[in-house]
Amino acid sequence: MTSTPTSTATELDRPRFFVDGEWVTPRGSETHRAIEAATGEPLGTAALGTAADVDDAVRAARRALDAGPWGRTTPAERAAVLRRVADALAARAADTSRLVSRENGMPIRLSEGSNGIVPPVLLRMYADLVERLPFEEVRRSPTGATIVRREPVGVVGAITPWNYPQALAMFKIAPALAAGCTVVLKPSPETALDSYVLGDAAVEAGLPPGVLNIVLAGREPGRSLVSHPLVDKIGFTGSTAAGRAIGAECGRLIRRCTLELGGKSAAIVLDDADLDLLRAGLSTAAFQNNSQTCTTQSRILAPRSRYTEVVDAVAQFCRELVVGDPLDPATTLGPMVSEDHRDRVLGYVDIARAAGARLVTGGGRPRGLDRGWFVEPTVFADVDNADRLAREEVFGPVIAVIPYDDDEDAVRIANDSEYGLAGSVWTADEDRGLALAGRVRTGTIGLNRYSIDLGAPFGGMKASGLGRELGPEALDAYLEYKSLYVGADRLG
């Protein structure tokens, strides 16, 4: 029933799940065939779980919390374990980064950061935070004193997407484990193979059985995780449509949830913007990870007084991108994650054309890249903010440039969206830019740049989600507060 965990360096198939500290045989027989994004060739095979597999994992997590050693650990003890897991992941970082790039097409330099460096950094950051956090304090009250305790929320179901699989898993796992919770991770089948490196690292680091469990599964078993009676919280990153369904179920069950959902963010280019600075920042603001990023600023708002200049600058940036093999360090734009997703992205090109938008560059498959799921970086001008290209999340390198009249008009257009996750303002006048950025209803926004800060809260407004990840604030999502009313003699 169990086997020795395999190494991502020598064996890609993952026929078992990581449950209760062991590699266990699945209950069902369904598998997922992973396809390399850049070649369209088979990459490996992974087992897909059933609701019964999810149930096994949840019960293991509950035992580890209620009856196992994890529920009795001190913050210092948890911090020590997290640092050992960080070391084990860091030792595997190069292999993991390459594997993710093969799975989803992420350029290797980005993958080395987000899938190699970020997970250990987050584990160490939350280890440091919980060692400093007062998990208990005594407060004076009118009738004596109150002991205020922070306790783990319980068993966490973590559901993660394919675009930043290691980093986004650790956005949830690191603060959850630091807080004293146990976790059941359900990764996305599109990146079916890399998630199990977390199990390998857990074994090496001596993480107690059941504290972290990993079951790859599709939608129906995922629903069973959300509704499982022994789960206390759901942490989800994914589409807004799926987030609405998860939020509704958690609301019905009175269950805590953190939802990091989609976006259709705006980059506002003011009339005094340095366009060289804009071009330098587009790689992270609009084209990071082949634009398969929830924070992609795919609406570029340009003043009519400089509209042609902005359109030309964005188009020139796209023409200079190096499209190709994601494992080549020179590549700056890799393929889409799958054939279906590539076709979906190209479908938006047809939608934009039909709406009357002007194609400036791109719009098809790159020449010479007949294998794999590549899309040319594409820019449409003269887009109306009411068009589907401006309303819906494409999740690929198809950018809309939208004209505006003045600052008030720019803010109105930026806020005229159901989403509110990211954004940026580009200007030579920082005070003007900060004032305008403060009026955009979004969870994160950059001034002449856009780059996520791991030490600051991250999340969205409106249909872009509920709650925050990252920073010290993320710990609150995995803690409950308890007040114990006692006598005044407890005051120090």
Q: From the DSSP assignment, how many helices (H) and strands (E) are in the chain?
A: 16, 22
CA distance 414 to 266: 6
Write a three-state SS string for 385-448. Answer: CCCHHHHCCCCCCEEEEEEECCHHHHHHHHHCCCEECCEEEECCCHHHHHHHHCCCCCCCCEEC
Give pLDDT, residue 11: 59
Q: Which residues contact 452 (CB under 8 A, 6 or more apart)?
A: 295, 444, 458, 470
Give pLDDT, residue 10: 36
CB contact at 8 A, 23 and 57: no
Say which of 36, 103, 112, 260 is annotated catalytic: 260
The reply to whether 136 belongs to the active site is: no
Residue 213: both structure tokens together: 């469990």
CA distance 388 to 456: 32
Residue 79: C-alpha distances to residues 93, 124, 321, 351 (Å): 21, 8, 42, 51
Q: Which residues contact 130 (CB under 8 A, 6 or more apart)?
A: 75, 78, 79, 178, 179, 475
**DSSP-assigned beta bridge partners for residue 281:** none
Give pLDDT, residue 491: 81
Which residue bears the tokens 């280890």?
Answer: 127
CA distance 432 to 110: 32
Query: Over the range 150-165, which residues count as b (16 or more CB within 10 Å of their CB) and which as e?
Result: bebbbbbbbbbbbbbb
CA distance 442 to 420: 4
Query: Over the range 236-245, which residues count as b (16 or more CB within 10 Å of their CB) and which as e?
Result: bbbebebbeb
Which residue bears the tokens 């096994």?
Answer: 56
One-letter identity of residue 316 = Q
CB contact at 8 A, 154 and 142: no
Query: Which domains does the chain show, CATH number per domain?
Result: 17-261+466-483 (3.40.605.10), 266-454 (3.40.309.10)
Residue 355: C-alpha distances to residues 170, 298, 359, 382, 387 (Å): 40, 17, 11, 10, 7
Write out the chain's pLDDT in tens, 492 residues: 333 344 443 358 999 999 999 999 999 999 999 999 999 999 999 999 999 999 999 999 999 999 989 999 999 999 999 999 999 999 999 999 999 999 999 999 999 999 999 999 999 999 999 999 999 999 998 889 999 999 999 999 999 999 999 999 999 999 999 999 999 999 999 999 999 999 999 999 999 999 999 999 999 999 999 999 999 999 999 999 999 999 999 999 999 999 999 999 999 999 999 999 999 999 999 999 999 999 999 999 999 999 999 999 999 999 999 999 999 999 999 999 999 999 999 999 999 999 999 999 999 999 999 999 999 999 999 999 999 999 999 999 999 999 999 999 999 999 999 999 999 999 999 999 999 999 999 999 999 999 999 999 999 999 999 999 999 999 999 999 999 999 988 786
Please tell me the pTM assigned to this model. Answer: 0.95
Give pLDDT, residue 460: 98
